[in-house]
């Protein structure tokens, strides 16, 4: 701020209560009510934040449907940020499926119907030449993390157009609840390129751009307009790409990963969590990463990203690049990816089998390969059939099976079925929440391979370490830290151990994961070099906790 700029007056009275970052509701003390023109506006009772949180949680439980609970939490977030984040952090396991997947999918589908108040920025194709100007309308000047989507591939639901804004809002609430990024320093963005969803185009209440999606050079121009605006207005801000279609996700990441502080959560976050769960699973199974035979169902950007990260970890552990590639078999709707197939992307061709001419299906791949790991990112519900799973289990003592597609209605298998078909020997992680399994009379938790284990920690890491890039080495370091946190959580020595850390401990785990990524950033030259203890202290300082601050007078 220059000497000629005046400090805007702090809001008072009703305006103060309308500011979700300053509002304390019934927690304003009598002196504060007098000082800030609040007398008579809140009810007479004065509550602590803890008392408010208990009351808010009771109100949350009063709604029986997940979508109604989601709407309640969004309204609470728009009214009182500190209270919202206190409730979410104290009940993270309970709240996560409501704030994010799977309920957020329903919220995206019905975005125009349940829309209440603006949050974030909507950047339309027609305004692409004014993005820098529009970015100046952001609610808060300083931003640490942006999450942007174009709404084209929301979870497994496809094109949701402007309704995709539910994803950046939900993601950023978890950046705060888990990573501790201050809510005022987050910015959700919806890049409105139009929609090809016929139902949305015909819906008179649809709130987005009522045009078909721009493509080709026009679409690339839209992405460049966003990046240029962020570079000019918010240099050094982490830009996370979320739920972009396969045709766009990898090219965008390739184009911008070395230009600014950015990553794609579907490609890199999903991969890091899957690798973390896999490292725990092979520890439980008593095998080595370099010995795994991995079959992947689905060949989109997320699936290839998972393979890329596992392959990097394999080379770190001694395999040659060629030998690491040879540990993977990809299957899509047309069967096994082979070198003779036309139309494969450059990233897919890396994993195309040159030793096979016939493009047979998943069941035959499992029969021939005898995989130790089966990963699903296909959105093909029920694709891991009893026949396929029993075939895999017949040749593998501890089969590792990850049906990772979201939401639950698109999952490749039900964990309970996997446990039954493998006589309880399966090591499983899912994309959406799943109830515990009953194995030999014991209740076994099912790990949810949710990106929440990684992306909030990456935001915390780059903020604390002052990183300028997100590198592959940082993501692999984060994945290994996820595995270490999971191993430490199994304090009773029970088997099978949880493949991922308990969600209730994720704020503490996020600090450890962030530390690992921050150390790797320094080693990679993506951040200033610093000692581990200095970085640990920086991470702790950067992690905001929900609390009330005294409004300025």
Question: Which residues are designated catalytic?
Answer: 100, 171
d(C-alpha 345, C-alpha 299), whole Å: 10
d(C-alpha 495, C-alpha 324), whole Å: 29
Q: Is 14 exposed, middle or buried (0-12, 13-18, 19+ CB in 10 A)?
A: exposed
Backbone φ and ψ for 404, nearest 5 degrees, come out as -100, -5
d(C-alpha 137, C-alpha 78), whole Å: 18
Structure tokens at 230: 């962020």
Lookup result for tokens 């409730």: 87
d(C-alpha 463, C-alpha 465), whole Å: 6
CA neighbor of 363 nearest in space, from 347, 384, 344: 384
The three-state DSSP-derived secondary structure of 322-344 is: HHHHCCEEEEECCEECECCCCCC
Give strand pairing partners of 187.
146
Q: How many helices (H) and strands (E) does the chain have?
A: 24, 14
b/e code 225-249 from CB counts within 10 Å (16+ = b): bbbebbbebbeebbbbbbbbebebb
Lookup result for tokens 């579907």: 266
CA neighbor of 203 nearest in space, from 148, 155, 159: 159
3-state helix, strand, coil in the chain (%, to 5): 50, 10, 40
The beta-strand segments (E) located in 253-299 are 262-264, 294-297
The three-state DSSP-derived secondary structure of 417-471 is: HHHHHCCCCCEEEECCCCCCEEECCEEECCEECCHHHCHHHHHHHHHHHCCCCCC
Backbone φ and ψ for 4, nearest 5 degrees, come out as -85, -10
């Amino acid at each position: 701020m220059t000497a000629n700029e005046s400090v805007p007056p702090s809001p008072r009275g009703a305006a103060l209560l309308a500011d979700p970052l300053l509002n304390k509701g019934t927690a304003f003390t009598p002196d504060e009510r007098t000082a800030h023109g609040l007398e008579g506006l809140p009810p007479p009772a004065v509550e602590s934040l803890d008392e408010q949180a208990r009351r808010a949680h009771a109100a949350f439980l009063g709604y029986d449907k997940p979508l109604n609970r989601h709407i309640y939490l969004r309204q609470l977030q728009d009214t009182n940020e500190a209270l919202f984040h206190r409730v979410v952090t104290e009940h993270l396991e309970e709240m996560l499926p409501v704030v994010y997947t799977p309920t957020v999918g329903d919220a995206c589908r019905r975005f125009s119907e349940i829309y209440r108040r603006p949050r974030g920025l909507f950047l339309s194709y027609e305004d692409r030449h004014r993005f820098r100007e529009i970015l100046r309308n952001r609610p808060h000047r300083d931003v640490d993390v942006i999450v942007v989507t174009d709404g084209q591939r929301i979870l497994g639901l496809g094109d949701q157009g402007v309704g995709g804004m539910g994803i950046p809002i939900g993601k950023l609430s978890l950046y705060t609840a888990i990573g501790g990024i201050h809510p005022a320093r987050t910015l959700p963005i919806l890049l409105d390129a139009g929609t090809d969803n016929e139902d949305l185009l015909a819906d008179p209440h649809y709130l987005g751009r009522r045009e078909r999606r721009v493509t080709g050079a026009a679409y690339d121009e839209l992405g460049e307009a966003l990046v240029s605006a962020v570079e000019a207005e918010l240099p050094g801000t982490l830009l996370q790409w979320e739920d972009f279609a396969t045709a766009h996700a990898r090219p965008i990441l390739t184009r911008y990963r070395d230009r600014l502080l950015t990553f794609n959560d579907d490609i890199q976050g999903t991969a890091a969590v899957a690798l973390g769960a896999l490292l725990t699973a092979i520890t439980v199974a008593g095998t080595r990463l370099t010995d795994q035979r991995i079959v992947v169902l689905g060949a989109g950007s997320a699936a290839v990203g998972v393979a890329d990260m596992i392959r990097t970890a394999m080379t770190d552990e001694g395999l040659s690049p060629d030998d690491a590639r040879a540990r993977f078999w990809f299957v899509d709707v047309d069967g096994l990816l082979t070198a003779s197939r036309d139309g494969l992307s450059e990233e897919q061709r890396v994993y195309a089998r040159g030793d096979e001419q016939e493009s047979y299906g998943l069941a035959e791949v499992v029969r021939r390969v005898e995989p130790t790991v089966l990963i699903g990112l296909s959105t093909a519900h029920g694709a891991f059939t009893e026949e396929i799973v029993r075939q895999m289990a017949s040749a593998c003592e501890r089969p590792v099976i990850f049906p990772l597609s979201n939401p639950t209605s698109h999952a490749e298998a039900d964990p309970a079925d996997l446990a039954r078909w493998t006589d309880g020997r399966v090591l499983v992680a899912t994309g959406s929440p799943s109830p515990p399994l009953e194995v030999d009379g014991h209740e076994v938790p099912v790990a949810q391979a949710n990106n929440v284990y990684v992306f909030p920690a990456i935001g915390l890491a780059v903020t604390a370490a002052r990183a300028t890039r997100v590198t592959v080495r940082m993501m692999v370091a984060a994945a290994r830290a996820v595995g270490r946190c999971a191993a430490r959580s199994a304090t009773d020595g029970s088997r099978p151990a949880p493949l991922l850390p308990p969600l209730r401990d994720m704020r503490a785990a996020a600090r450890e994961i962030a530390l690992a990524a921050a150390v790797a950033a320094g080693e990679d030259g993506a951040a200033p070099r610093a000692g581990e203890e200095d970085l640990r202290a920086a991470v702790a300082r950067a992690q905001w906790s929900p609390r009330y601050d005294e409004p300025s007078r």
